[in-house]
Amino acid sequence: MDFYMVAYTDLRTCRNEQGEVPWLAINAYAYRYEIRGDEFDWLVRVINYLDQYFAARRPEGEGRDAGRSGAPDLTVREAG
C-alpha cells in the first residue's frame, strides 16, 4: 500500500476542477515508472478510491482545490 500512497501524493498537483486525479495523469505516471497490465489497473482503482475517500471526508466549506496544495492529512487520531 505504501507505493499507492506515494503515487497518490506524487499526483496531487494534477487534480482537475473536481479535485480528482485524471486518468491521463495516472497513465503518464505509470508510463514513467513502467507500470503495466494488472498493476496499472490497480493503480487506477486505488487512486480513484483515494480521491473519493478523501473528497467524502473533506470539511464542508473547503474548496475543491484544497487537495492541490499538498498531500492529504493521513494522521491517525485517537477517538475521544
pLDDT in tens, 59-78: 765 555 444 445 555 555 56
Range of the domain at 57: 2-68
Question: Residue 12 domain-assigned?
Answer: yes
Q: Is residue 73 part of a domain?
A: no
- Identify the residue with better confidence: 7 or 75: 7
**Is 77 domain-assigned?**
no
Q: Within a domain: residue 16?
A: yes
Domain-embedded: residue 74? no
Give a yes or no: residue 36 inside a domain.
yes
Q: What is the pLDDT of residue 23?
A: 96
* Cβ-proximal residues to 55 (8 Å cutoff; 6+ apart), any chain: 19, 20, 67
Total-model pTM: 0.70
Task: Please state the domain count of the chain.
Answer: 1
30 lies in some domain? yes
